[in-house]
Structure 1
Amino acid sequence: MADPAAGEGPVLVVGAGPVGMTAALALRARGLAVTVLESGAKDRVRPGSRALFVHRQSLRLLERARPGLGQRVAAYGTTWRTRRTLYRGRQVFAQTFPDSSGTSELPAFASLRQVDTERFLYEACLEAGVDFRFDAEVTGVEATGTGVTVTAADGDGWTAGHVIAADGARSGVREALGIPLEGTRSEGYHVVVDVADPAGGELSAERVFHYEHPAAGGRTVLRVPFTGGFQIDLQCRADDPPGTYDTEQAVRRWLPRLVGADCAHHVLWMSRYHFLRKVAASFTDPTGRVLLAGEAAHLFPPFGARGMNSGIADAVSAADAISVACSDPSRAPVAIGEFASTRRRAALFNSVAAGAALDHMRPRRWGRMTQRAAATLAPVVPRCGAWLEHAPYGPRNGPMADAARKY
């Protein structure tokens, strides 16, 4: 085994995704040395748009962690101004926001592929002096009252005062600690397809939600633009046979009906996913030395963009708590405990909100009748159309992306 002191620092961050790199930047902003352990190779490529939206609150947290970073992400991302909702081919809601470009204020959100968000974060981490160790798959964690020892699959080891686990849904750290994820998995699935803008120009930057799309056999479709293209999310039915919509051959069959033959030739990536609503039983180990953040701590459906954005808030809050623990150990239990309770409370809110969105997206008989009635009334009762617009994303008023507490 390598000398544990070789990678020693006050904090280890496990995982070099958006949440892990945000945590590293937030720690460096507080003057703490950081080593990031990443199971993948340095030149790894993570395909697909995945987490598209970076909300304004997250942009502010990135700006706080590394001045200029939030602005760079916002400048590169797309901020669409028009959102539309349709029901069976008929528009029931539309709204266009004023153009706020050219102002110094951060936009309401930036839409860009996660690979681009990670690129900006990685560049900022290098500028900030973050140390990266790649090909370091964590398989063992031993935490005591005085520190943490982390071991990798190849036998290398590191010690630190604290660890932030941001190593995703299959977190090796969480597994090593025996902390379970509690929640549910939906029966139905979705197919997500990234499509590049066609040669010769971009499509209109509009987000379109289409209930029971006629060209998709009555399945619901979401189209979201991002810098360089757009994402199509097709909601499949629970009884759709495997392979009907979720293979490359199937996508080539149904996608042209939704976006046109020209766009359908520019597929960048496709994936299939189920709704997962799960929250870790605890956001720390019993010693308070290991803190969970992002998908290591919670899993949500993509609607509402709760996953990465709440993970960014987790990361900054974890860095705040660890900064207190390092500067004043007597305050560590309170700071770490408050991180765990506050961020788990936010995760539970998101889980409930995601459940409400899921109930709306996959309604039972009375739910479908209510949606149909709202669509019928929308031309004369605008709030019915507004309900159809907002309901697929779940409640918005809550601690989804609470700013990390400043101790």
Structure 2
Amino acid sequence: MNEVVVVGAGPVGLSAALALRARGLDVVLLEADPEDRERPGSRALFVHRETLGLLDGMQPGLAAEIASYGRTWQTKRTFYRGREVYSRTFPPPSGPPPFTSLRQLDTERFLRAACERAGVEFVWDARVRDVDVTETGVVLTGEDGRNWTAGYAVAADGARSTLRHALGIAMEGSHAEGFHVVVDVADVPGAELPLERVFHYEHPGVGGRSVMRVPFTGGFQVDLQCRDDDTREAYGTEEAVRAWLPAVVGDGYAERILWVSTYRFLHKVAASFTDPHRRVLLVGEAAHLFPPFGARGMNSGIADAAAAAEAIAAGSAEAVAYFDASRRAAALFNSSAAATALDHLRPKRRIVRVKQRAAAALAPVVPWCGSWLEHAPYGPRHGAPALAGRKY
């Protein structure tokens, strides 16, 4: 019998496997895709300082490896209807960077190599169909009839988690109307855009929709906030992106698109992060789904993974129960914080729009107003329950 089986080889599953190996546990990682899978774009760009610290605890030197490849910028700019309302350039960090920015497929590449160095056993083409849980362990059944038996399982199998469905654990919450479009774009060699993060409220070039540009190694990501009545055909296909992208970043990039996808605004948290026997632990998008404001998705998922490894290594139902309570508390905070950000970005209340217009008008003479416009789209960063133990 295996000590632990992790299901899902995305960034959260890889982190869980790595954290378990750091605690001396044998780990089998099951992934439904083949070993030579080609991963698509970059829903998650930011690896924050707190997350880098967790990764370095799993394998010393890993954080520096990721940070040295990623990009950290010092300048942030915010515009309102085409007029700059906030700009700040920070000095280069003297220690670990506050974040690093790289495509999710690159983060996964570093994590997979770290897992291989740590001795994680990978099983590819292993799509799990069902899970049976007892007081002493779990049995996972694959679609091809193979079985894996373990003392514990970590469900890192994403938003449509097979393990969560098999355990009958409900996702609680709601979804907002509308969607946003995420586009990865490669740099034009010799004509790279400035190393800045730029946010536009009501960008005049895309009909007053809000848009953000974020650099990563080798290119940048554009995030377009669509309206409730927008269609994917009009804004979310590659052909549509080619039409509106030049108005946001200039000419020369329509043929440099690497990846396009659309996401709905979900606010959902699992009713429980574990089963009644405390043998299966849910992490990442198997446990929670937020709008991607403030880089809460992957960062909170990696915090889940670290906490799951700690609980499993402790080997008690009480430790898993604490994991359940603490990480669910963190997820509820992050879901609420992301909802606050969404209310600011897609205001339904007239008073919110009035406050934004007033702040934009006052920003040249009242710096606080520009700072508020800069920070509000990402939701509160502090205030997570003490039980959670971490920002995410």
Q: TM-score, normalized by length of structure 1?
A: 0.93
CA distance in 1, matches of 2:191, 2:64: 25
1:391 aligned to 2:376?
A: yes
Residue of structure 1 equivalent to 2:6: 13
Q: For 2:253, what is the secondary structure of its paired residue? A: helix
Gaps of 5+ in 2: none
1:336 aligned to 2:336?
A: no
Q: Contact 2:242–2:254 (CA<8 Å) still a contact in 1?
A: yes
CA distance in 2, matches of 1:201, 1:157: 53
Change (3 A) 1:29 1:400: farther
Gaps of 5+ in 1: 1-7, 326-331
Q: Contact 1:61–1:316 (CA<8 Å) still a contact in 2?
A: yes
CA apart distance, 1:265: 2.0
1:289 aligned to 2:279?
A: yes
Q: For 2:97, what is the secondary structure of its paired residue? A: coil
Q: Contact 2:294–2:379 (CA<8 Å) still a contact in 1?
A: yes
Q: How does 1:205-284 map to 2 (within 5 A)?
A: 205-284=195-274
CA apart distance, 1:239: 1.4
Change (3 A) 1:145 1:342: same
Q: For 1:265, what is the secondary structure of its paired residue? A: coil
Residue of structure 2 equivalent to 1:379: 364
CA apart distance, 1:141: 0.5
Residue of structure 1 equivalent to 2:336: 352
1:70 aligned to 2:63?
A: yes
Q: TM-score, normalized by length of structure 2?
A: 0.97
Change (3 A) 1:43 1:353: same
1:49 aligned to 2:33?
A: no
CA distance in 2, matches of 1:314, 1:117: 17
CA apart distance, 1:202: 2.6
Q: Deviations over 1:258-290 (max 9, x none)?
A: 111212221111111111110000000000000
Q: Contact 1:310–1:400 (CA<8 Å) still a contact in 2?
A: no
Residue of structure 2 equivalent to 1:4: none
Q: Deviations over 1:90-129 (max 9, x none)?
A: 11111111012xx5x2210010000000000000000000
Residue of structure 1 equivalent to 2:179: 189
CA apart distance, 1:400: 9.1
Q: Contact 2:187–2:193 (CA<8 Å) still a contact in 1?
A: yes
Q: Contact 1:313–1:403 (CA<8 Å) still a contact in 2?
A: no
CA distance in 2, matches of 1:241, 1:280: 29
CA distance in 2, matches of 1:363, 1:71: 39
CA distance in 2, matches of 1:241, 1:267: 20
Q: Contact 1:11–1:164 (CA<8 Å) still a contact in 2?
A: yes
CA distance in 2, matches of 1:41, 1:182: 32
Q: Contact 1:184–1:276 (CA<8 Å) still a contact in 2?
A: yes
CA distance in 2, matches of 1:97, 1:135: 46
Name segments (4+ residues, structure 1) moved above 4 Å: 400-404
Q: Which moved more, 1:68-77 or 1:243-252?
A: 243-252
Residue of structure 2 equivalent to 1:81: 74
CA apart distance, 1:241: 3.7
Q: For 2:197, what is the secondary structure of its paired residue? A: strand
CA apart distance, 1:204: 1.0
Q: Which moved more, 1:377-386 or 1:279-288?
A: 377-386
CA apart distance, 1:334: 1.5
CA distance in 2, matches of 1:66, 1:400: 28
CA apart distance, 1:250: 1.2
Letter in 2 for 1:119: R
Residue of structure 1 equivalent to 2:23: 30
CA distance in 2, matches of 1:235, 1:205: 22
Q: For 1:274, what is the secondary structure of its paired residue? A: strand
Q: For 2:177, what is the secondary structure of its paired residue? A: strand
CA apart distance, 1:242: 4.1
Q: Which moved more, 1:244-253 or 1:155-164?
A: 244-253
Letter in 2 for 1:208: V
- Select which of 79, 99, 114 maps to 2:92: 99
CA distance in 1, matches of 2:232, 2:24: 51
Please tell me the root mean square deviation across aligned C-alpha atoms, in Å.
Answer: 1.3
Q: Deviations over 1:44-72 (max 9, x none)?
A: 11111110000000000000001111110
Q: Contact 1:288–1:333 (CA<8 Å) still a contact in 2?
A: yes
Q: Contact 1:306–1:400 (CA<8 Å) still a contact in 2?
A: no
Q: For 1:12, what is the secondary structure of its paired residue? A: strand
Q: For 2:291, what is the secondary structure of its paired residue? A: coil
Letter in 2 for 1:60: G
CA apart distance, 1:12: 0.5
CA distance in 2, matches of 1:242, 1:159: 43
Q: Contact 2:326–2:389 (CA<8 Å) still a contact in 1?
A: no
CA distance in 2, matches of 1:403, 1:304: 18
- Select which of 27, 37, 40 maps to 2:33: 40
- Select which of 293, 296, 299 maps to 1:309: 299
Q: Contact 1:219–1:235 (CA<8 Å) still a contact in 2?
A: yes
CA distance in 1, matches of 2:179, 2:13: 28
Number of matched pairs: 388
CA apart distance, 1:201: 4.3
Letter in 2 for 1:57: E
CA apart distance, 1:303: 1.1
Q: Which moved more, 1:358-367 or 1:310-319?
A: 358-367
CA distance in 2, matches of 1:270, 1:382: 36
